[in-house]
């Protein structure tokens, strides 16, 4: 089992991953850190868990925008389009990302 130590919002965290996925985890964490910077630039003081909540909201918003854009490119409007057929590979990847986010949240709760 691989491990990656990353720094997010000034805190170091060790994240477990499958062997060979270390670079992918670093890239995901880089995206999360980018969102942390956006939130910090807005001002205000946030606890780690609240910061993670805001980061999750930003990422979910981007995902929603991407889904809407994909629907428009397929020729349907997002509100009226028939539900797209589930993509098992995408569902598996999203599940892995969700597991990683939960792991990060647990790590943050312990600090």
**Domain range list for the chain:** 2-110
Model confidence pTM above 0.75? no
Among residues 98, 103, 95, 96, the alpha carbon closest in space to that of 6 is found at 103
Q: What's the 3-state SS for 40-59? A: HHCCCCCCHHHHHHHHHHHH
pLDDT by 10s per residue, the chain, length 111: 889 999 888 889 899 999 999 999 999 999 999 989 888 888 878 788 888 888 888 888 888 888 888 888 887 655 544 555 667 777 777 777 877 787 777 777 676
């Amino acid at each position: 089992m691989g491990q990656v130590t990353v720094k997010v919002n000034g805190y170091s965290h060790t994240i477990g991953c499958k062997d060979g996925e270390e670079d992918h985890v670093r890239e995901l964490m880089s995206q999360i850190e980018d969102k942390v910077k956006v939130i910090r630039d807005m001002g205000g003081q946030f606890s780690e868990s609240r910061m993670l909540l805001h980061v999750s909201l930003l990422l979910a918003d981007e995902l929603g925008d991407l889904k809407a854009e994909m629907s428009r490119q397929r020729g349907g409007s997002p509100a009226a389009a028939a539900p797209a057929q589930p993509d098992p590979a995408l569902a598996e990847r999203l599940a892995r990302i969700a597991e990683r986010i939960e792991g990060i949240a647990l790590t943050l709760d312990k600090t």
